Chains A and B, each alone.
Chain A
Amino acid sequence: MNPPAGTGLRTANAPTELPPVPPAATRQRGRRARPRLGRLGTIAIFLAPALVLFLLLVIVPILVAAYTSLFKWNGFNLPENFVGLDNFTRAIDDPVFLGDLRRGLILIALSVLVQLPVSLALAMLLNQPLRGRAVYRLVFFAPYVLSEVTTAVLFTLVFSPNRGLSTTVFGWFGAADLGGSLFADPATVLYALFFVISWKYFGFYMILYLAGRQGIPKELTEAATTDGATAWQVFRHVTLPLLGPTIRISVFLSVIGTIQLFDMVWVLTGGGPIRSSETLAVTMFQYGFRRFEVGYASAISIIMFLLSLVFALLYQRFVLRRDIEGALTTRGVQR
């Protein structure tokens, strides 16, 4: 945790190492030698805005959720009907909640096994010298800046049975009926959802991989090529291992993102048909803001939080340990 060399006067042991300043000199400058309190005061003033905002609007809500998850509460007045962990045991018996977990796992598996490899392959393609590749990059990344809501509304219409684009496109393959029903059929809705999510986010991962790829020194791949390795061998034995840190972080982001998935599902399907695309966040939202079972909804929030946290800690402990420090989490987490 040592600060890098040359981070200035005020790092390391600054207060003790300051040379004793003759009082006269201090008065000359019209300023007192800063005692310890002054330095701490400066620190406090600079930290205060961020710390107040963060504690009040990020940390406190999490604690409030943990507290209200122990009550059967409709969200009005003060919670008084203490039920202990009943909301949590209720979740474990709730087929909707269990379905949310299963759907979450399916979406995570699809993201990690399909979306990320495809993004990686595209990044490798666009790393080649190719006329117009700047344009391709620009286009591939564009959906990332669109909001999830506009994306979702657009695709509701693309897949609309009457006037949608998908009916025509599927019609070319003789499956016009399928085109309009993907979001209406419990068997296909999750995959259709995954398609739209990938449409929006693959460019994001592609950019991460491209950045990672460009961080690999040219000499390494060139040396392998000179030694007679095929393009695939270079990729498999040189590029891929060196991309390790980027890939591990992309998996992390993808899993955490999927656990929290809300906007896209809410707008595209509302969780339907018959809850076949409902996610944890959608279930939480419905109980919290539609049925006013705030206690139960808080319990689901806390479960989502714990899932993210446990995943993050385990991932950090077993997977990320080697590569990062200070990027997404810090070493402090491990201690």
Chain B
Amino acid sequence: MTTSQQASTSARVRRLTLHVVSIVIGASIVVPIAFGVLGGFKDNGQLSTNPLGLPHPWVPGNYTAILASGVFWRQLGNSTLIALATVLIVVGASAMAAFVFARFTFRGREFLFTLFAVGLMFPFTVAILPLFILLRSMGLLDNPLGVILPQAAFGLPVTIIILRSFFRTIPGEVEEAATLDGCGPFAFFWRILLPMARPALATVSVLAIVASWNNFMLPLVVFTDQSWWTLPVGVQAFQGQYADDTARVLAYVVLSMVPALAFYAVAERQLIGGLAGSVKG
């Protein structure tokens, strides 16, 4: 009797400890974000005297001014356009390449695949300078394609690797049956493989959207024309412009976080599953 009581008590203590640790860490995530959200509703005087508490009175002016200004919406639109175009190109090109890598044999296949795989180690940081020079000579500066195409190119490795391993799991019998029914490789790819691969396509699309949405370095150097700025570039510029107006910058930061967090809420499963799956290979 005592042992079972002890066991249940110790289990309760354990669970309580787990909760306390989790809540403390959760708070360290939530509190800075809440500081931003609430800070946006304060004026700078309130922020100095009361950075942590609820606004008193609530000052919605920072948010409404940004939402009414048009700049924020344009940056949101640019980010969206660039993300969608990037995803279409990277997923399209990767699916085609992954199809070849998964289901054809030919000389040089492993070499080519390795070339793409090694590409995982070249982020923009390494290539940004020559990329800038290249885009300049192609006349793609201040052109959304100057961000879309390189983003798609740098997204190829991870997308191809994930899709290839998924395509390999689709049984050969499916392809045989399709071939017997008169399906050529194009029809098989388009009408059978892609529909079957929908979950994997969703995962890589979500990953590509997040990567594009968060990209900073490339739009920073490609767009000197403000009307093309994406949200990350816009947020940084806004901070530079209103450095002394903390409350207003907080409001801008918070508004720029909303689409990302909303997207996360919708696509969480795909995102987390994709990250976990991509590392397992």
Chain A residues in the interface with B (C-beta under 8 A):
1, 3-4, 6-14, 29, 31, 39-40, 42-43, 46-47, 49-51, 53-54, 56-62, 64-65, 68, 75, 122, 125-126, 128, 130-133, 136, 138-143, 145-150, 153-158, 160, 162-165, 167-169, 199, 203-204, 207-208, 210-212, 215, 246, 249-250, 253, 256, 260, 262-263, 266-267, 281, 284-285, 288-289, 294, 297-298, 301, 304-305, 308-309, 312, 324-330, 332-333
Q: How many interface residues does B have (CB within 8 Å)?
A: 114
By a CB distance below 8 angstroms, the chain B residues around A131 are: 15
Q: Do A42 and B185 touch (CB < 8 A)?
A: yes
Q: Smallest distance from the beta carbon of A291 to chain B beta carbons, Å?
A: 12
**List of 8 A-B pairs having minimum Cβ-Cβ separation, nearest first:** A327-B281, A211-B276, A332-B114, A64-B130, A57-B153, A147-B214, A8-B172, A50-B97
Q: Do A136 and B232 touch (CB < 8 A)?
A: no
Q: Smallest distance from the beta carbon of A251 to chain B beta carbons, Å?
A: 12
Known: A167-B51, A285-B128, A304-B126. A57 touches B149 (CB 8 A): yes
By a CB distance below 8 angstroms, the chain B residues around A65 are: 126-127, 129-130
By a CB distance below 8 angstroms, the chain A residues around B120 are: 328-329
Give the contacting residue for A50; candidates B94, B253, B263, B268; CB below 8 A: B94
Chain B residues in the interface with A (C-beta under 8 A):
15, 18-19, 21-22, 25-26, 28-33, 35-36, 39, 44, 47-48, 51-52, 89, 92-94, 96-97, 99-100, 102-106, 110-123, 125-134, 149-150, 152-154, 156, 160-161, 164-165, 168, 171-176, 179, 182, 184-186, 189, 210, 213-214, 216-217, 221, 231-233, 235-236, 239, 246-247, 249-250, 253, 256-257, 260-261, 263-264, 268, 271-272, 275-281
Between A and B, 19 residue pairs with Cβ closer than 8 Å are A4-B168, A6-B172, A7-B103, A8-B103, A9-B172, A10-B104, A11-B104, A57-B131, A131-B15, A133-B22, A145-B264, A146-B261, A147-B232, A149-B232, A150-B260, A165-B52, A168-B51, A267-B216, A294-B133
Q: Do A301 and B127 touch (CB < 8 A)?
A: yes
Q: Do A157 and B121 touch (CB < 8 A)?
A: no
Q: Do B105 and A333 touch (CB < 8 A)?
A: no
Known: A57-B153, A65-B130, A308-B126. A215 touches B280 (CB 8 A): yes
By a CB distance below 8 angstroms, the chain B residues around A312 are: 121
CA A151 to CA B263, docked complex, whole Å: 17
Q: Smallest distance from the beta carbon of A210 to chain B beta carbons, Å?
A: 7
By a CB distance below 8 angstroms, the chain B residues around A285 are: 128, 217
**Count the A-B residue pairs with Cβ separation under 8 angstroms: how many?**
319
Query: A-side binding surface: helix, strand, loop or mixed?
Result: helix
CA A169 to CA B30, docked complex, whole Å: 14
Known: A142-B261, A146-B257, A157-B36. A163 touches B48 (CB 8 A): yes
Q: Do B217 and A145 touch (CB < 8 A)?
A: no
By a CB distance below 8 angstroms, the chain B residues around A68 are: 129-130, 133
Q: Do A61 and B131 touch (CB < 8 A)?
A: yes
Known: A10-B105, A327-B161. A260 touches B123 (CB 8 A): yes
Q: Do B21 and A125 touch (CB < 8 A)?
A: yes
By a CB distance below 8 angstroms, the chain B residues around A122 are: 21-22, 25
Q: Do A329 and B171 touch (CB < 8 A)?
A: no
By a CB distance below 8 angstroms, the chain A residues around B99 are: 46
By a CB distance below 8 angstroms, the chain B residues around A12 are: 105
CA A40 to CA B191, docked complex, whole Å: 21
Q: Do B118 and A329 touch (CB < 8 A)?
A: yes
CA A329 to CA B189, docked complex, whole Å: 26
CA A54 to CA B22, docked complex, whole Å: 43
Known: A50-B96, A145-B261, A211-B279. A7 touches B172 (CB 8 A): yes
By a CB distance below 8 angstroms, the chain A residues around B121 are: 256, 305, 308-309, 312
Q: Do B153 and A53 touch (CB < 8 A)?
A: yes
Q: Do A54 and B153 touch (CB < 8 A)?
A: yes
Query: From A164, which residue of chain B is reached at the shortest CB distance?
Result: B51
Q: Do B18 and A128 touch (CB < 8 A)?
A: yes
Q: Do A6 and B171 touch (CB < 8 A)?
A: yes
Known: A10-B103, A42-B185. A61 touches B134 (CB 8 A): yes
Q: Do B123 and A328 touch (CB < 8 A)?
A: no
CA A136 to CA B114, docked complex, whole Å: 38
Give the contacting residue for A298; candidates B117, B130, B231; CB below 8 A: B130
Give the contacting residue for B276; candidates A39, A199, A208; CB below 8 A: A208
By a CB distance below 8 angstroms, the chain B residues around A153 are: 235-236, 239, 249, 253
By a CB distance below 8 angstroms, the chain B residues around A150 are: 231-232, 235, 253, 256-257, 260
Known: A284-B129, A333-B118. A263 touches B217 (CB 8 A): yes
By a CB distance below 8 angstroms, the chain A residues around B111 are: 332
Q: Smallest distance from the beta carbon of B163 to chain A beta carbons, Å?
A: 11
Known: A7-B168, A332-B113. A139 touches B216 (CB 8 A): no
Q: Smallest distance from the beta carbon of A119 to chain B beta carbons, Å?
A: 11
CA A132 to CA B26, docked complex, whole Å: 12
CA A261 to CA B217, docked complex, whole Å: 11
Q: Do A140 and B25 touch (CB < 8 A)?
A: yes
Q: Most chain-A CB neighbours within 10 Å: which of B121, B174, B268?
A: B121
Q: Do A139 and B26 touch (CB < 8 A)?
A: yes
Known: A57-B150, A163-B51, A330-B113. A125 touches B22 (CB 8 A): yes
Known: A141-B272, A208-B276. A49 touches B129 (CB 8 A): no
